[in-house]
C-alpha cells in the first residue's frame, strides 16, 4: 500500500513537472512574441517621428517659397522665378 501511494505521488509530481515544462516553453514563446511586438511598435514610433519632422521641414520650405514669391512681385524676371522653383524642387528632393 505504501508503495502504491509512493508510486502515485511520483506520477503526480512527474505530471506537475511536465506541465511546468510545457508552461515554461509557452512563456518563452509569448516573451519572444512580446519582444517582436515591442520592436514593431518602436519602429512605428520612429517612422511617425520621421513623418512629423518631414512635415515640419516641408511646412518651412513652403513658407519660404511663399515669402520669396511674394517679395518678387510682377517685375521680377522669369529667370529669378525659375531659380526659386528649381531651388524649392531640389530642397524637396533632399527631404
Residue 74 has pLDDT above 80, yes or no: no
Task: Quote the pTM value.
Answer: 0.59
Q: Which cell is 30 given?
A: 509569448
- Give residue 36's pLDDT: 97
Q: What is the per-residue pLDDT across 9-66, written as a single tens digit (0 to 9) for each?
A: 999 999 999 999 999 999 999 999 999 999 999 999 999 999 999 889 888 888 888 8
Whether 81 has a pLDDT exceeding 90, the answer reads no
More confident residue, 71 or 16: 16
Domain count, the chain: 1
pLDDT at 59: 87
Give the distance from CA 12 to its chain's centroid: 47
CA 69-72-77 angle, 5° bins: 115
- Residue 29: domain span: 2-94
Amino acid at each position: 500500500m505504501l508503495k502504491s501511494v509512493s508510486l502515485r505521488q511520483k506520477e503526480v509530481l512527474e505530471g506537475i513537472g511536465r506541465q511546468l515544462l510545457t508552461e515554461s516553453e509557452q512563456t518563452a514563446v509569448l516573451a519572444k512574441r512580446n519582444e517582436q511586438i515591442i520592436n514593431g511598435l518602436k519602429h512605428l514610433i520612429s517612422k511617425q517621428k520621421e513623418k512629423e519632422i518631414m512635415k515640419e521641414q516641408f511646412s518651412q520650405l513652403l513658407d519660404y517659397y511663399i515669402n520669396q514669391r511674394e517679395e518678387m512681385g510682377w517685375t521680377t524676371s522669369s529667370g529669378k522665378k525659375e531659380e526659386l522653383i528649381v531651388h524649392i524642387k531640389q530642397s524637396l528632393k533632399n527631404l
